[in-house]
Structure 1
Amino acid sequence: MSVASEERPAPLRELALIAALWVAYSLGRLVADGRVDEALVNADRVWEIERLLRFPGETGLQHLILRAGDLVQVANSYYAYVHFPATIGFLLWVYLRRPGHYRAVRTTLALLTGAALVVHLMFPLAPPRMLAETGLVDTGHLFGPSVYGTPGTDDLTNQYAAMPSLHVGWALLVAITLIRLTSGRRRWLWLAHPLLTLLVVVGTANHYWLDAIVVSVLLAAILRLTTTAERRPAPPPVPHPRRIRGGGPGRRPRRGSRPRTTRVPGRP
């Protein structure tokens, strides 16, 4: 059995673990739902903070997308259909091709998702498409495809959990890991995935710039934690006791054998 196969976790257990984590996260988001007034107040605060810090306006980026014809539908499709398949495909690739790094990657993804859930619970936030003063529109509902229903009747998702953006966080983790685990100059092209994701989530008015900054800080802290744990040397193996072969002071005589005596010269 190769070393890689020994380091690869059992597939059924991993599937069950990932499914359990996703169910827990989804239920947690639904628990955080219903705090609409608080989420809208926080949205006003985030919008004001970004203007105070002179962040580039989300409105300008959306106007560029809207002027580009079919580009808005491409952006909506990227938001709706790339997020989960890309992350699942990435985990499968690490599991099959770099099994020695899989546990650390899976743990990082789980910790990042859990940290995002804590922020959702502590700081509910309405996306910018719900604030009239931003001048932004809901591109998903206007041009399709959309992954969300009407906020008042959508019982499957929590639309007031914009902070932080897991779309950006997961895409950034995918890019960083693939850059670390592959070689060649072209590996830096993986950064296009989080960059496109950032432009998409902001241009479609699903997230603020600040949502991406917060998730990047969380990911940096978690990567530092998991990387340190991965580099920690394993304890040396305990040697198994072995029977001493050949003559020696610790050897026991065989049954029925007479102990050897040393013959002194000159004596019979």
Structure 2
Amino acid sequence: MAEQTQSPTPAPAATTESPDGGRRRVIAMTVWGVAFVVAWLAIGLPTDPAYAFLWIWAGTIAWNSARPWRSHLRFARDWIPVVLLLAAYNLSRGFADNGATPHAMELIVADRFLTGWLTGGEVPTIWLQERLYDPAEVRWWDVLVSWIYFSHFVATFAAAAVLWMRNRRRWIAYMARWGFLCAAGLVTYFAYPAAPPWWAAQNGLLTEVARISTRGWKEVGMHGAGNLLNAGQIASNPVAAMPSLHTAFALFVVLFFMRSARKRWWPLMLSYPLAMTFTLMYSGEHYLIDVLVGWAYVGMTFLVVGLAERWWAARQARRPGEPAVAAGAPPADGDTAGDTPDRAAGDREAVPAERR
């Protein structure tokens, strides 16, 4: 009699759902979102580095709520030095003028030289406000300008938080460039303290310029949204105009992620630093020359830090038994769990490998 063979039981299909996904994540993120909106309306949008860090940390806890607490504490361990450095940066920037009169006239002359053929000899801020600003009415673009201006305080932080969760090596490369850019800007603030257009107008160097970067929130009923930002503007030292780190940060974030994005998305990505440029000039916060120098600092940052990474990789390669891996290189297949902080099954890389 022929022997009967029993077909093997098919293996269950592998689940692709992340253990952090589903109802638990939705509930946690909903609670976080509601709490954020309540605090935003009552206290203000998170523009202080420490306050922004607390909200981003809470957001990562909500997103990865199923992970053990040691993972969340590791986030705090890695980020607290960064927050302290940013707080020191903000504090030291306030002493940049050393009581001296900041540079202003040179910036006015530079902007008139760059754009005078289009603006009739005016700086871009005055030309834009004459055509778009109405003291008696808040337009839709004023609301948009307020949101774009605020994004400076969270976009760089949020991108870094995503990188920390997805790809630690890219996070290290990102933080090295961000730190270098902040340091270069701070050195310039001390070496060349410069004032923005609204300061020049207050001191008689320009005709009237309104500082309008936060006026849009009141139009949509969010009167408390800019509380922290308004307080920060009042207390801030007005000599941090050159270079514009607002637009430098915007371009930096975009350029860091551009090489891993499809080219069809590049125009949309580049629209962010361009929108920030318009926002800063229209709202009286920066001259065009500030923006151009900020962009130049971004290019210098990628060049200098990239060279330093390659030098370090070559130096490590000369040591026997140690692999040479640049900080900005994507992790290889054999990377250990320590390279990517507690990534759960099914989580996808925030920054995919470069497409060839």
TM-score bracket, normalised by the shorter chain, equals 0.7 to 0.9
Q: Distance in 2 between matches of 1:34 and 1:229?
A: 33
**Structure 1 unmatched runs, 5+:** 1-9, 241-268
| Residue of 28, 49, 52 corresponding to 2:110 | 49
2:161 aligned partner = 92
2:81 aligned partner = 17
**C-alpha contact 2:243 2:291 (8 A) present in aligned 1:** yes
1:65 aligned partner = 132
Q: Distance in 1 between matches of 2:232 and 2:79?
A: 32
Deviations 1:167-226 (A, max 9, x none): 101100000011023335224421111111111011101001011111111121121111
Q: Return structure 1 stretches of 4+ with deviation > 6 angstroms.
A: none
Say yes or no: does 1:30 pair with 2:77: no
Say yes or no: does 1:124 pair with 2:193: yes
Q: Distance in 2 between matches of 1:165 and 1:222?
A: 14
| Residue of 208, 222, 225 corresponding to 1:135 | 208
2:258 aligned partner = 179
Correspondences of 1:168-207 after superposition (within 5 Å)? 168-207=247-286
The residue type equivalent to 1:11 in the other structure is: F
State the identity %: 24
**C-alpha contact 2:146 2:214 (8 A) present in aligned 1:** no
**C-alpha contact 1:178 1:190 (8 A) present in aligned 2:** no
Deviations 1:2-49 (A, max 9, x none): xxxxxxxx53332122112112101211222563x612xx11221022
**C-alpha contact 1:78 1:200 (8 A) present in aligned 2:** yes
Report the TM-score, using the length of structure 2 for normalisation: 0.56
The residue type equivalent to 2:309 in the other structure is: E
Say yes or no: does 1:217 pair with 2:296: yes
Change (3 A) 1:142 1:104: closer
1:83 aligned partner = 152
The residue type equivalent to 1:58 in the other structure is: T
Structure (1 or 2) with the larger CA radius of gyration: 1
User: Across the two proteins, how many residue pairs are aligned to each other?
Assistant: 224
Report the TM-score, using the length of structure 1 for normalisation: 0.73
Compute the RMSD of aligned alpha carbons.
2.7
CA-CA distance at 1:138 after TM superposition: 1.7
Q: Distance in 1 between matches of 2:232 and 2:160?
A: 32
1:243 aligned partner = none
**Structure 2 unmatched runs, 5+:** 1-73, 218-225, 323-356
Q: Distance in 2 between matches of 1:195 and 1:115?
A: 22
Q: Distance in 1 between matches of 2:214 and 2:145?
A: 13
Q: Distance in 2 between matches of 1:121 and 1:131?
A: 19
